[in-house]
Amino acid sequence: MCCSSMTNKMHANTSRSLWVAFLIGFSLMAAVDEIVFHQILAWHHFYDQSTTEVALLSDGFLHVAELTGLIAGFFLFADLRHSQQLAPKWAWAGFFYGLGGFQLFDGIIDHKILRLHQVRYVENLYVYDLVWNLWGIILLLIGFWLNRRAKNAENFADTAH
C-alpha cells in the first residue's frame, strides 16, 4: 500500500516546466514592450514602415499574439501544478530565458535585420540599441544562472539518494 501511493506520485517535469515558463516570459516581455513602448511612450509600433493605421493594426496583432501566449502559458502552467509536475527552479530559469529571449529577438531580428521598427526614432540609436540588447543579455544571464542552480540542485538530490 505504501509503495503504490509512492509510484502514483508524479515526478517534476523539468523540461516542460522550463518551456512553459519560457512561453510566459516571452509573452510577458512582448506585453511590456507593447504597453510601455508602443502605447505609453509611443516610441514605435510593431511595423512602422507604412501608415499609422497599418502601424496600429500591427500593434493589435502583436497584442493578440502576446495575450494568446500568456493565456496558453498559464493554462499549461496550471496543468503542470495540478499534475504535480512543476519544477519551480527550472520554471524560473525558463521565465528569465523567455524575457531575455524576446528582448534580444526584438532588438536584433525586428530592429536590425527585418527593420520593422527601431527602439526610438532619434538621431543616435546606438545608446538605445545598446541598452535594449544589454537588458536582454542580462535577463538571459539570469536565466542561465537559475538554470545552473536548478541543475546543481537536481544533481545534489540525485547523489543524496
pLDDT attached to residue 159? 63
Measured CA distances, 81 to 27, 66, 99 (Å): 20, 22, 21
Q: Which of 90, 91, 104 is nearest to 139 (CA)?
A: 104
pLDDT attached to residue 153? 83
Q: Dump pLDDT digits (tens) for 115-137.
A: 999 999 999 899 999 999 999 99
Q: What is the pLDDT along the chain (161 residues), one digit of tens a residue?
A: 344 333 334 578 999 999 999 999 999 999 999 999 999 999 999 999 889 999 999 999 999 999 999 999 999 999 999 999 999 999 999 999 999 999 999 999 999 999 999 999 999 899 999 999 999 999 999 999 999 999 998 776 656 65
pLDDT attached to residue 6? 35
Contact indicator for 59, 46 with CB cutoff of 8 Å: yes
pLDDT attached to residue 3? 42
pTM of the complete model? 0.87
Q: Which of 122, 129, 66, 124 is nearest to 98 (CA)?
A: 66
d(CA 62, CA 31): 8
pLDDT attached to residue 129? 95
